[in-house]
Amino acid sequence: MVLVFLGVVIAGALLTGDRRIVFDPPWWLNVVALALVAAIFAPFAPWLRDAISDLVHAQGDDGYALIGRLNSELQQMANPRATLPRVARMIATDLHLPYVLVTVDASFTVDAASGPADVAFGEPVAGAPFGHVPITYLDQPLGLLVVGGRAGGRPLTPRDRALLGDVARQLGIALYAARLTVDLQASRERLVAAREEERRRIRNDLHDGLAPTLSSLQLQLGAIQRLMRGRPDEAERLMDGLRESLRGATSEIRRLVNDLRPPMLDAFGLVGALRQLVPAESDIAFDLLAPEPMPALPAAVEVAAYRIAGEAIHNVIRHSGARRCVLRIELAPAELRLEVSDDGRGFPVDRPVGVGASSMRERAAELGGSLTLENAAEGGARVLARLPLRPAPAGLAQTASATVERAPSIHERPNQEP
Question: Please, which pLDDT band fits residue 38 given cuts at 50, 70 and 90?
Answer: confident
Q: Which of 189 and 393 is assigned the larger pLDDT?
A: 189
Of the listed ranges 26-40, 188-202, 261-275, the least confidently predicted one is: 188-202
**Per the confidence metrics, is the pTM higher than 0.95?**
no
Question: Please, which pLDDT band fits residue 108 given cuts at 50, 70 and 90?
Answer: low
| Count of other CB atoms within 10 angstroms of residue 402 | 11
Strand bridging mode 335-342 / 370-375: unpaired
pLDDT at 338: 93
pLDDT at 355: 66
User: What are the tens digits of pLDDT across the range 330-386?
Assistant: 998 888 999 999 888 888 776 655 667 777 888 888 888 888 888 887 778 889 999
pLDDT at 416: 35
Question: Please, which pLDDT band fits residue 258 given cuts at 50, 70 and 90?
Answer: low
User: What are the tens digits of pLDDT across the range 306-328?
Assistant: 889 988 888 888 878 888 899 99
Q: What is the mean pLDDT of residues 245-260?
A: 75
- Cα 161 to chain centroid distance, Å, stands at 31
Q: What is the mean pLDDT of residues 190-198?
A: 74
Domain ranges of the chain: 2-57, 190-260, 263-404
| 96 close to 120: Cβ distance less than 8 angstroms | no
Q: What is the mean pLDDT of residues 128-152?
A: 85
CA–CA separation, 30 and 8 (whole Å): 9
pLDDT at 153: 62
pLDDT at 45: 76
Encoded amino acid at 100, one letter = V
CA–CA separation, 38 and 1 (whole Å): 9
pLDDT at 386: 92
Q: Which of 257 and 144 is assigned the larger pLDDT?
A: 144
Q: Which of 56 and 29 is assigned the larger pLDDT?
A: 29
Encoded amino acid at 16, one letter = T
pLDDT at 42: 75
Question: Please, which pLDDT band fits residue 54 given cuts at 50, 70 and 90?
Answer: low
Residue 412 has pLDDT above 70, yes or no: no
pLDDT at 400: 33
Q: Which has the closest alpha carbon to 66: 91, 96, 97, 44? A: 91
For residue 42, with 0-12 CB atoms within 10 Å meaning exposed, 13-18 middle and 19 or more buried, which class applies? exposed
Residue 246 has pLDDT above 50, yes or no: yes
User: What are the tens digits of pLDDT across the range 8-29?
Assistant: 777 877 777 776 776 677 777 7
Q: Which of 275 and 73 is assigned the larger pLDDT?
A: 275
- Which residues share a beta bridge with 386? 337, 370
pLDDT at 145: 92
pLDDT at 328: 92
Average pLDDT value for the chain: 77
Q: Which of 357 and 120 is assigned the larger pLDDT?
A: 120
Domain 263-404, architecture per CATH: 2-Layer Sandwich (3.30)
CA–CA separation, 210 and 203 (whole Å): 10
pLDDT at 336: 92
pLDDT at 384: 92
pLDDT at 339: 92
Q: Find all residues with CB under 8 Å of 133, minimum gap 6, and list them.
A: 144, 145, 146, 147, 161, 164, 165, 167, 168
